[in-house]
Amino acid sequence: MRISTGIRRFWRALALSAATVGKAVSLPRNSCFYAAILTCLSIPRVFAGNSIPLSESQQKFVNELAAKSRTAGNGGAAVIAGADGWFFLSSDIRFLSVGQFWGTDAAKVSRAHKPESADPIPTIVDFHDQLKRRGIDLLVLPVPPKATIYPKPILPTRGSGACAILRRAAQTRN
């Protein structure tokens, strides 16, 4: 399994096992691991690189999210209206559509004002190191954007197939 150097360094620095997370939130080890890691579209691709390619349906979903994000960005909108009165943060929709946001790809997709601040991994590792010196563990849990949990309201015609990558990723991890 190929993992970028920054991600590998990040996870090694955290030294956070699924057992630790499970104790912290009182969930069985495997349940907590999958709840924390596999609930976001980008996270399975972090661990598997391109070995879990998006299906045609999933790629169309991402492309349509990107189009919605661009439209919202051009208009300066903070939210994007979905079906049946649902609203989605435009920043969340953009996050889902940009792909890899760390390492060498960070500069391509980041909105950081300083190019050296584009990659989040060095900052997270630095923060971890600061906490570690004080005897504090850093617990990182990805918070899934609403569109990964409820894809139908944002793209009613594509939403049903959007999360299949998560199921496939979970199957490869078992």
The range of the structural domain enclosing residue 82 comes to 5-173
Percent of the chain whose predicted confidence (pLDDT) is above 70? 59
Confidence of residue 21 (pLDDT cuts 50, 70, 90): very low
What total of structural domains would you count in the chain?
1
Tokens of 70: 């661009």
Burial class (CB in 10 A: 0-12, 13-18, 19+), 26: exposed
pLDDT on residue 134:
93
DSSP H helical segments within 17-150, as ranges? 18-25, 29-37, 42-48, 56-75, 90-98, 106-109, 120-133, 146-149
Element (H, E) at 12: helix 5-14
Percent of the chain whose predicted confidence (pLDDT) is above 90? 5
- The sign of the dihedral angle between the CA atoms of 39, 146, 82, 113 is negative
- Weakest mean pLDDT among 39-48, 73-82, 127-136: 39-48
* Structure confidence by residue, pLDDT tens digits, 72-127: 878 788 888 888 888 888 888 888 777 777 777 777 778 778 878 888 888 888 99
CA distance 44 to 112: 24
Tokens of 39: 């609930």
C-alpha distances in Å from residue 120, one per residue of 24, 41, 117, 123, 129: 25, 18, 7, 5, 14
Residue 65 has pLDDT above 60, yes or no: yes
Tokens of 104: 């060498």
Task: Identify which has the larger pLDDT, 142 or 136.
Answer: 136
Residue 128 has pLDDT above 60, yes or no: yes
pLDDT on residue 133:
94
